[in-house]
Amino acid sequence: MPSPRRRPVARLRSAGRLVRTFLLIALLAMSAVAPAVANAADPPTEGIDISHWQGEIDWSRVAAADKAFAFMKASEDHDYTDPTYGLNRARARAAGLLIGAYHFAQPSGAAGDAIAEADHFLATANIAEGDLPPVLDLEQSNGLSQTALHTWVRTYLERIHDRTGVRGVIYTSPNFWSRYVGSSEWFAANGYRLLWVAHWTTASSPTVPAADWGGFGWTFWQYTSSGTVAGITGRVDLDRFAGTDLGSVLIEPTAGGSAVIPKPPFTDIGSSKFAKHIAWLYAEGITSGCSKTKFCPDGKVTRGQMAAFLARALHLPKTSKDYFDDDDGTSHEADINRLAKAGLTSGCGTRRYCPGKTVSRAQMASFLAKVLDLSKSPKDYFRDDERTGHEPNINKIARAGLTSGCAPKRYCPSGVVTRGQMAAFLYRTFGY
């Protein structure tokens, strides 16, 4: 499976005899600009990569097992979305892991295929600053020649770069790269220096294709496909990072993400303190507003609307099952069923969801705590939620940094959530 990338670790190569003083100066200069390199005494930085095949994951246990990062499948081909991606992304980040997304490539000779797959990945993955760079998982040639596949990969990666400013990671095995891409060094020589190499071995290091990836070496190494990790049922891919500072490979704020965020058409958010959050909500396709030109930031959020917000934010899969009787014919019925299928709501009663009821701040806390599968908080953050029944969940989201309340030591649990507040909750929940 694919994995993340990291800025290449600079390596000193001695060229002839160097004077001791010159070598010392060079090493000091490098230390100021190069990522931290792991030394023999440092434990390796470990992570995993997953997809829907791993089922439901207890991310708090994964974090407790000293896994620092996780790559997760977002998409495949030009129309498939992994049904677990949204929840895995939100829950892994809430548990403290660094996260990255990968696209499983299905190359085709059809005109525009590489661009279509890249666009589908970007529409699904919602990559953002602070994420690990996006990964192209290259395991299939689908009959393309070496030249054609080389062109496909280049077109895909350049599309990602053009739209985001980020140079993606390539995930591949040494054999695949040599056999189907002709051991090409072009990518390493043209800015794509982050390699995620898949080589399942007990050796201390992997085989690296393309002349040690043009001299840059590997950044991530998938060293087994049959690992075991607490919180995951069955086998899982295990990965290692070639360094000690994962922060050095994260997508930076200046990477260009703003280029893909369209300006919302709403004329009523200029003075709202939630304008930034609303703009993000619109850019992610989670809402089109309450009309063509308005968002209605002060409007009250209903349970039906909340289902729509969450189902879209999490990319929850559709379902043909009808869970409730009181939402039939409403515009939110499909999203309510998606939420129920994912186990994120059981409704407000037997076969009832109460789609028209407004959502209180206490109820919002419980929804978010369930979405993120947050662990119990030992700290009591607020004084006005003691008898609500939602107090444990309010403390959970406070501990996770999703709320600071409505005033010092107050959460205002009975207050109704507005559309602007909902935008802020979602923005913080999904790690932007």
Catalytic residues: 49, 137, 139
What's CA 356's distance to the chain center, in Å? Answer: 32
Integer-rounded Cα Rg, in Å, for the chain is 24
In 207-364, beta strands by DSSP E: 220-227, 236-241
Burial of residue 263, with CB atoms counted within 10 A of its CB: 0-12 exposed, 13-18 middle, 19 or more buried: exposed
Q: Are 336 and 324 contacting, i.e. CB atoms less than 8 angstroms apart?
A: yes
Query: What's the Cα-to-Cα distance from 393 to each of 3, 341, 345, 374, 377, rounded to whole Å?
Result: 33, 21, 15, 8, 9
Q: Are 74 and 102 contacting, i.e. CB atoms less than 8 angstroms apart?
A: yes
Q: Give the chain's largest Cα–Cα span.
A: 82
Cβ contacts of 159 within 8 Å, gap of 6 or more: 114, 115, 118, 119
Cβ contacts of 362 within 8 Å, gap of 6 or more: 385, 388, 389, 390, 393, 394, 411, 413, 414
d(CA 361, CA 358): 10
Closest CA to 239 of 290, 176, 197, 210: 197
How many CB atoms neighbour CB 291 within 10 A?
Answer: 12
